[in-house]
Amino acid sequence: MDFCGGYLEKNLSKDSKITVMIMVASATASYEIFIYLYRAAILKSNVEIFLFIRILLIEIIYNTLLTIIIYPLMQKLGYKMEEVFKKPQILTRYF
């Protein structure tokens, strides 16, 4: 996981909304497909591909719209946290 986070931080811009939306859409699709296949294998249920695709598209659109709304707030919070953690901290001790 750390490798994936490091790779994404170096190669993708945090300021690009398109990049963030693509990441959210791909993460949603990957997660939902994995869960669907896992449940189908464990429960041995019928695979209804057209219903699944319809639900998947609705979830991707919903998550992407939420990202568009919430991302500016998350971005501001992220920049403030980055300032706190990346600022040089000089610890002096008085004996």
pLDDT in tens, 18-75: 888 888 899 999 999 999 988 888 887 777 889 999 999 999 999 999 998 998 888 8
In a domain, 2, yes or no: no
Tell me if 72 is assigned to some domain: yes
Q: What are phi and psi of 75, to 5 degrees?
A: -65, -45
Dihedral of CA atoms 21, 24, 25, 31 in degrees, nearest 10, equals: 180
Q: Is residue 48 part of a domain?
A: yes
Task: Read off the DSSP letter of residue 15.
Answer: S
How many separate domains does the chain show?
A: 1
Vertex 25, ends 18 and 33: CA angle to 5°? 160
Tell me, yes or no, whether 64 lies in a domain. Answer: yes
- pTM, two decimal places: 0.66
Q: Report the sign of the C-alpha dihedral through residues 20, 23, 25, 27, in that order.
A: negative
Instruction: Tell whether 57 is covered by a domain.
Output: yes
Answer yes or no: is 93 within a domain.
no
**Residue in the structure block whose two tokens are 């990049």:** 19
**Maximum distance among all Cα pairs of the chain, rounded to whole angstroms:** 72
**Of 2-6, 9-13, 78-82, minimum mean pLDDT range:** 2-6
List the domain range (segments joined by +) for residue 29.
14-86
- In this structure, is residue 76 part of a structural domain? yes
